[in-house]
Structure 1
Amino acid sequence: MRLFGRKNGEDDSAERIAEFWRWWEGARPGLDAKVAAGGRDSLASLAETLAPAVSALHSGLVCEVAPGRNAAHALVVTAAGDAELRSLAHRWALAAPPADLVWEFHPSRQANPQAADLTLRAGDYEFGVGKLVLGLRVPRGAPRVDVSAYHPIFSELDDDTRLDAALLALDSVLGEDDVARWVGEITAVTFQPIDAVPAVHLPAVVADLASEFDGEQWVALEGKTARGRPLIAAARFPLRPVDHPLYDQHLAVTLPYAGRDGDKLPTGASVEALRDFEERLTRVAGDWVLAAHLSAEGHRIFHLYADPAGEVRRQVEELAATWGEGKARVDVAGDPAWSAVAAFIS
């Protein structure tokens, strides 16, 4: 049974979030009673009560009750790796009531300082995170660490369950957002990798890797268009949607430039005009980020991602209207997974 749902196909996520928290206010006494009862059966009953309300937000969201950082319990409503739903989970958490001694609220699984002592469930089995070991590889110059995860119980599990177990354990050790941010390829293996280290050492490895990418960095790229024309681009590096979970509105600003070389790339005064436009673009107020820009076939496209609740769109459209080398165009669309810049995501 859906508690509250979509009307006429429109995006009513704000209303569904508000409905959830109205439901929570009424259900809270019963939920607290289940918490007070304690024990595994009461937690299972708690999850059964919460699941329909979370599914009404979106069927792809996953809810969990976990130990809190400051409260006794944390209600986690997570996109579970689905980039399309990450912004919804974060807006749900932003609308939450203030945390208290019993409940706090998170839009992703949090790292557990006592992860080594945790026992997690994988299918019909339970396994201790303390026995999980990892083979780690950091590709040269990459902002990611590739992981081969091994646990003695993995040989008892099928491939999908084994990978799910590895992901759940990594989330508990590092936190779901940092797994998305810093962990690249993940494989769950049935043999212990050479030079494996305990999984609880992963946060230290990631912290060392992250220190190499501190501050704003950009990378210059070259390529070909679908028609075989030369293309040049610049992209923020690293570029990850998880760093900006509320920026799910994509603005593509397309500027035709007059100065073109034989490959239709910008030249002469147009180079300076484009540089000046970009500098003015950086002064646009609000919550947004310039992800990348590319030039080819006589046009430069700036790819921006913004929080649609602000005034970024209006300001960008006003700025684009001042472009003097042809008619500028601003295309706007919802894109929570940042699919328009998928080629640049690192």
Structure 2
Amino acid sequence: MDVTFKQRVNQFWLWFEGVAPRFYAEIEAGNCSDLVDEVGQFMGQTMPELAWAFGPGDGGGHSFTVSGEGVVPKQLLAEYWHSHQSQCEGWTFFPSRQPNHDVDGISLAIDGVGQIDANDMLVQTVVDEEAMVFDIVIWHPLFEQFNHELQVQFSFLLLDEVLGEYGTQGWVGGLEMKPLDEQQIDGKRVHRLKDLPKFIDGVQRYHQWNKLPPPESFTAYAIESEVQGPRGDTIAGVTCVPGLLFELMEEGGRLSEDPMAGTGAELAYVQIDSEAFPADQQPEARYNLEEQIQEALDDANCGRILGGATGTEFNYIDLLLFDGEASRSVVESVLTGVNLSGRYRWSQFA
């Protein structure tokens, strides 16, 4: 039987509790690089689709970060991992890459080319008040030596350094690379990269924007006309994984690539006969059912709701399951308890 993600998380914390004192001593002695192979082997076997890193801890000590690298379902795995953390003296744990507070020291060394420093990288910002994001033009003189793909890659690496993983994901809208120079710096539209967090914070406070982290953000959507294939009858819904959901519908009910492959977790949805709900209260009835399912999943620490949708024939509840059949049993017990036996069926995203 495959090891579920819940079991993998338990394995991780048992392992880290045992190695934490030794790891701390090795890092204090300047031997962090000696741990890479050991940690990489364990993480590759236990959490192969999640990135990891050592770093500074909050208020001293050291940290261990697990990251979904901007992919929301994987970020939800990292959040689940983090919610089960053990108390290890001297250690802080993070479920996403954190901003580097030593902004003057942020740089990216590129073999055979040179070094990109945050001090030398310029950004031009346009505030999109409706979307509550910043469209950004970014440039560094060394970008002239790279193709567009590498320019994008290096830009996001450095944006993550100054804003953190969630900051980049939540605040950066459009991204464009084109030449900027220091003479354009005005503190309002053009800044040094290191000054971008302060600028964003000021705009956020001015507009009183209150944004949730990406894994907690839900998007409402509506479908204008029916499409062929699974979920083609969908009218409207909400989701925290819009990209995956729209791909699922566009590709005939299957994802081209399963982001949960190898993790022990599962993306699935329950399809419920719409006639099982009052005709004029389907969204409310589905939402109430989602609340009951989430409460049961929380009690068992084995899954979470990703969203739901109303359709002409069916209602849908999207789920991320951490514990395989045990998670499914929890969901089914709720459905049975509200007299939906025989009126639902399971489907997978991939």
Whether the TM-score (by the shorter chain) exceeds 0.5 is yes
Paired residues for 1:1-346 under 5 Å: 10-38=2-30, 42-101=31-90, 103-123=91-111, 125-139=114-128, 141-187=130-176, 189-192=177-180, 195-199=189-193, 200-202=195-197, 203-204=200-201, 207=204, 211=209, 219=220, 221-227=222-228, 232-235=235-238, 249-257=267-275, 271-274=279-282, 277-278=285-286, 280-281=288-289, 283-284=291-292, 286=295, 287=298, 288-289=304-305, 291-296=307-312, 299-305=313-319, 308=322, 313-314=331-332, 316-318=334-336, 321-322=339-340, 328-331=343-346, 333=348
Q: CA deviation at 1:138?
A: 4.7
TM-score computed with the length of structure 1 as normaliser: 0.68
Letter in 2 for 1:97: S
Alpha-carbon deviations, 1:140-193, whole Å to 9, x = none? 633543333222332344444432322122112222123233433434x25128
TM-score computed with the length of structure 2 as normaliser: 0.68
Change (3 A) 1:206 1:192: same
Work out whether residues 71 and 99 of structure 1, in 8 Å CA contact, stay in contact via their aligned partners in 2: no
Q: CA deviation at 1:50?
A: 2.5
Work out whether residues 289 and 305 of structure 1, in 8 Å CA contact, stay in contact via their aligned partners in 2: yes
Q: Give the Cα–Cα distance (whole angstroms) in 2 for the partners of residues 159 and 192 of structure 1.
A: 16
Work out whether residues 20 and 88 of structure 2, in 8 Å CA contact, stay in contact via their aligned partners in 1: no
Give structure 1 stretches of 5+ with no counterpart. 1-7, 242-246, 259-268, 340-346
Change (3 A) 1:48 1:116: same
Residue 53 of structure 2 aligns to a residue whose secondary structure is: strand
Q: After TM superposition, which residue ranges in structure 1, 4 or more long, deviate above 4 angstroms?
A: 212-220, 227-231, 236-241, 287-290, 306-312
Work out the percentage of aligned pairs sharing the same amino acid: 18
Work out whether residues 5 and 322 of structure 2, in 8 Å CA contact, stay in contact via their aligned partners in 1: no
Q: Give the Cα–Cα distance (whole angstroms) in 1 for the partners of residues 127 and 170 of structure 2.
A: 14
Q: CA deviation at 1:108?
A: 1.4
Letter in 2 for 1:293: A
Work out whether residues 248 and 306 of structure 1, in 8 Å CA contact, stay in contact via their aligned partners in 2: yes
Residue 31 of structure 1 aligns to a residue whose secondary structure is: helix
Residue 135 of structure 1 aligns to a residue whose secondary structure is: strand
**Greater relative contact order (CA < 8 Å, ≥ 6 in sequence):** 2
Q: Give the Cα–Cα distance (whole angstroms) in 1 for the partners of residues 60 and 14 of structure 2.
A: 21
Q: CA deviation at 1:110?
A: 0.8
Q: CA deviation at 1:12?
A: 3.6
Change (3 A) 1:104 1:191: same
Say what the alpha-carbon RMSD is for the aligned residues. 4.1
Residue 226 of structure 1 aligns to a residue whose secondary structure is: coil
Work out whether residues 181 and 240 of structure 1, in 8 Å CA contact, stay in contact via their aligned partners in 2: no
Q: CA deviation at 1:33?
A: 3.4
Letter in 2 for 1:331: W
Letter in 2 for 1:113: H
Work out whether residues 227 and 233 of structure 2, in 8 Å CA contact, stay in contact via their aligned partners in 1: no
Work out whether residues 290 and 302 of structure 1, in 8 Å CA contact, stay in contact via their aligned partners in 2: no
Letter in 1 for 2:61: A
Residue 248 of structure 2 corresponds to none
Q: Give the Cα–Cα distance (whole angstroms) in 1 for the partners of residues 32 and 111 of structure 2.
A: 18
Letter in 1 for 2:59: N
Residue 342 of structure 1 corresponds to none
Q: CA deviation at 1:322?
A: 4.8
Letter in 2 for 1:254: I
Work out whether residues 87 and 248 of structure 1, in 8 Å CA contact, stay in contact via their aligned partners in 2: no
Q: CA deviation at 1:20?
A: 3.6
Q: Give the Cα–Cα distance (whole angstroms) in 1 for the partners of residues 280 and 180 of structure 2.
A: 56
Give structure 2 stretches of 5+ with no counterpart. 245-264, 299-303
Work out whether residues 231 and 294 of structure 1, in 8 Å CA contact, stay in contact via their aligned partners in 2: yes
Alpha-carbon deviations, 1:221-270, whole Å to 9, x = none? 241222499863143699699xxxxx965433322439xxxxxxxxxx95
Aligned residues: 303
Letter in 2 for 1:32: Y
Work out whether residues 223 and 235 of structure 2, in 8 Å CA contact, stay in contact via their aligned partners in 1: yes
Q: Give the Cα–Cα distance (whole angstroms) in 2 for the partners of residues 57 and 237 of structure 1.
A: 25
Change (3 A) 1:65 1:224: same
